Structure 1
Amino acid sequence: MGYVDGAGAEGAPQFNTTPQTVADLNRLRDLVVQRGNRLKGTTAQRNALAGAILVDGLEFYDQTDKRTYVYAAGGWVVRGPAANQANPGAAVAGIDPAAAIDLPNGLIMKTGAFTGGTSVAFGNEYFPVITFATPFPSKCLHVSITPLSGAPVNNATGNPIALDTLDKTQFRALILGSTNTWARAFTWLAVGY
């Protein structure tokens, strides 16, 4: 069994013999590449990273500033509390500011609130697009919306707020069959990875 170099997929180690131990190590290497990588170190160590290890989704816990970063689209993005997750200037009295939280299972949870007007098109009432301050690295799986008291919750036919579009950068809610515009408010919770 012998280590050759780190020139495999995403800088993974390469082995040059075939005993079962090497097969096990190669399988372990493949699982690490498949499931992701997480590093920790100082800001200087993070900034010194280069080459094949810098792939979208790489996480780095910076011991200097005590924050988690994710490498995406050629640069480091802070993961953690984020301001202005909803629309710029949107605020709902008594609602905590938007946030993004890493869950232990690798999922990310983002929260926020919206208050504002709607528009009508195609026989439906549409909310403005809500853009996440920081996109999910791979995919947004789910958004839950909770209407706030004091704003109309649904239309005359009883249709609740639903999702029109959803991706890793944004979502848009609508009320099917509503042909009235209103000032509405809701909180939202998004989960992705």
Structure 2
Amino acid sequence: MNMTRLMGTAALLATTTFAAQSALAYQAGDIYVRGGFEKADPTSDNGDIANQDLDVSEENGFAYGAGYLFHDKFGVELNGSEAMEHDIAVNGGNVGSVDRTPVNLMLNYYPLGGVENARVHPYVGVGMNYTHFSDESFNADLDSSYGAAAQVGLDLSVTDNLLVGTYARYADVDSDIEVNGHDVGEAEIDPMTIGAGVTYRF
């Protein structure tokens, strides 16, 4: 029994070593998809409604992404998350909730792109954010938002195709608040998002 376990452990180590040696950096022509989990933490000052302070809660949700490298060191990525339901408070009292669905289009830079056998893949990106608000449970409507976005991340190769990683992203998200078609304030979300997940590269 001990010999069987030893052989199994040796086989696992050999496979891991081979995978580590054969892992390649991101390079031109790569296509990838991502899936994971992230936490969005809105800025501490969330604006106002009818001259009263607004507070928006932090939330967690499932995240997704897909990208293409058109150069060893540059690529485009579309990412976002499921609709996150944020609690809304006015002057410290809860008034309801709203769903926030973000989508980001990013241009990423990979400083180690094209480096043979690289297992660690840092990247930084800049781009645009679109955020849709829906299902407001209080008597107001939040307009969709367009703004700048930036991210930094790190992926680690497990095999040539499978990677694990983490990232941080900031987005400029401001939304006009309307009641019966009239502006009554502005929600300033500006979330800092921290996430982690798995990437599959084709």
Q: Scaled by the length of structure 2, what TM-score is found?
A: 0.25
Higher RCO (CA 8 Å, separation ≥ 6 residues):
2
Higher helix share: 1
The structure carrying a bigger strand percent of its residues is 2
TM-score norm. by structure 1 comes to 0.26
